[in-house]
Every structure is written in C-alpha cells, then in structure tokens.
Structure 1
Amino acid sequence: MNYYVERVAEYYDKLANIYDELYGQEQTVKYLKALAYVKGSRILDVGCGTGLGLGLLSPRYVLCVDISLGMLRRATARNPDADLLLADAYLLPLRQKSFDTALAITVFERLDDARALADFAEVVVAETLGRWLVSGAKI
C-alpha cells in the first residue's frame, strides 16, 4: 500500500464511528439520486463506507468495497450478511464485467478516474464534488 492510500485509510478509520452522524444524510441523498441509474442485479459499491447504500440497493446483490477497515466494520454492523472487500478503488481484485452497475459516491477526486470502474461494470455511476458521471457522460 502506498503512503497516500495508507493515509486515506487511516483518516476514514478514525472517522468511521461518527461518519453517519456527520455525512449520513448527505450520502443517503446521493444514493437515492444514483438509484435512477442502477441497472441489473449485481452491484459494485466502491467506497461503500458504513454501508448506507445497502438497504437502498436491496434486494440486489451488492459487493461493498472500501479502503477503510473501520468503515467496513460499521457496514458489517449495519448488515452482518453483507459481502465486503477491503481494497483500493484503483486496484480492484475483481474479474472484468462481473457486475451490472458500479457505484462510486464521493470516492474519486476526478470523475475521469471513475472510468476505471468500467472494466468491472457496464454502467458506471460516480459522484464527486457535486458532479455526476453516468456511463461516461458527465452531468
């Protein structure tokens, strides 16, 4: 793991216990907006954080990916049966085209970086800095 990735993971590990209190409402609204673009039954939620999107994406299969073990522990507390993966969004250990939709909400600093998720899903929904990228088209 490189220095930057370690620092990001450490930051979110420390924030995990209060994340929902600070950002839960805002993140839930983003998930609700993203639902309009979610297609298929296999969803990759990169940067799932505390698992706020799990209930909203149900009954689809969702793989929750995050770089922070602290965040994934909170996601497990929210849904003990969730499938979770501790991984870097830029180095996902997944088979290509193994999901129908990939979500990356408040993950990438640059939306162009989210295009890397297209290797794993036909449809990409990403949000950062108030801008959306859906299937390669910025909105």
Structure 2
Amino acid sequence: MNKVSKTENAWREQLSDEQFQVCRLKGTERPFTGEYYNNTTPGTYSCVCCDAPLFETRTQFDAGCGWPSYYEPIDPAAVVEAEDFSHGMHRTEVLCARCDAHLGHVFPDGPPPTGLRYCINSVAMKFAPAGTAN
C-alpha cells in the first residue's frame, strides 16, 4: 500500500469543510446525524480522503451511540490505532492506514466475534453499494 501524503492546502482543496475538520483536524460529527448511521444497503465504505477500503456493511451494527459502528475493519491493515488523550479522556483513535485520516474511535464493548466497536464518522467515509465501484 502506497502512503498518501498531502499538504494542508491540498487536503483543504479536496475535502469539504466538515470533512477537513473531522479527517485532518480530528473533529467529530454530531451523533445521530451522519449519512451512514442507519445504512443497511450491502456495500463497502472507503476513506473519503484516499479511497482505501475500510469497512463493510456486513460488519455494521446499531450500537446506539450515534455513529456508524462496525465490529471489524475490512482488513486489519486498513486502519491503525493511536492513543487519544483529548477532551480529558483516554480513548483509542482509529486512523486510515493509507493517509492517516482521523476516522473515529474503537472501544472494547462491541458484539462477537471481535468484541470491538469501531465508531466511525460518516463524513470520513464514502459508500459504494455492492456491485458498484467507489
């Protein structure tokens, strides 16, 4: 996998203001407002910044937390984790392995088979229904 690296200005030109705030400045969208929160259409979610495949609908579940949630990434190498001490909390941040976009956080309270809950911002992803290209 080739790493994607761009200047801040290049990212600003490519992304909407909200996408830039979330993906490059580690922001978050408001809970229960994201485009993919209740999506049940089979397909694949990719990084909005670099098109890397991240998650599949088959691993999505309703965690009741307000963000699209998945119990595993499409491939363990698709995401990387980092400690996050922002907002007075200790959490595990989830980043796109290809371009380091902030995607959301992962928590150890998800369903089987992994027991993980990847809470991901809709704005950090784009969706392609099964059988279509991103």
By the TM > 0.5 criterion, same fold? no
Q: TM-score, normalised by structure 1?
A: 0.31
TM-score normalized by the length of structure 2: 0.31
Greater fraction of residues in helix: 1
Higher RCO (C-alpha under 8 Å, 6+ residues apart): 2
